[in-house]
Structure 1
């Protein structure tokens, strides 16, 4: 398997696992406009990350997994915006983390698209 696919699958698997092991930070960035429990959204997005990681690992489903990863990175952008807004008065370190997540989505989307090819 190529290094690009392994790296992306590892990133998604790690993040997906963290959604279940330490859900509170993820709950806090779920946009309030989404219906239902924030925890359900945290678990659903974690499960999606794990499923996409598995799809990327399997050569036959890698293209679909890469495209799904790109869509996921687009879909979680509102959570990153919420984090940036919520942390605008936080410590400089927290602000740096929150603000750096916004442009980070673009290389993540590009990475996922490369894996899909």
Structure 2
């Protein structure tokens, strides 16, 4: 399978795995929900898990791939504040945890670019 055909499926797999972990281990995500959001952190954790699963399905299907990939790029931008919160909350933790928390921040950029690339590679095919 050519790389251009694998990339959307890998992105869908990443999104699906992340979505599943929101239900399998919600407590770790609850702590990342900014307190400025209304309602229960658990509600936001489950909602973001559902969103990731829906995005995964959309990216996996050629017919909805472009729109879902663009939505995934927007989603990756939208969850950035949670990653910032994690980095700030973990700034006094041991060095490996602190490095992981701060290391997540720049990783959003390749995720956004990957999703946009999947959308762009879909143009003209649907």
TM range (shorter): over 0.9
Runs of 4+ with deviation above 3 angstroms: none
Q: Is 1:54 matched with 2:61?
A: no
Q: Unpaired runs of 5+ in structure 2?
A: 121-126
The structure whose Rg is larger is 2
Q: Deviation string for 1:69-106 (max 9, x for gaps)?
A: 00000000000000000000001111111001100000
Q: Deviation string for 1:26-63 (max 9, x for gaps)?
A: 00000000000000000000000000000001100000
Q: 1:33 is matched with which residue?
A: 36
Q: 2:80 is matched with which residue?
A: 77
After superposition, the CA RMSD in angstroms is 0.8
TM-score by length of 2: 0.91
Q: 1:98 is matched with which residue?
A: 101
For residues 106 and 66 of structure 1, the distance between their equivalents in structure 2, rounded to whole angstroms, comes to 14
Q: Unpaired runs of 5+ in structure 1?
A: none
Q: Is 1:66 matched with 2:69?
A: yes
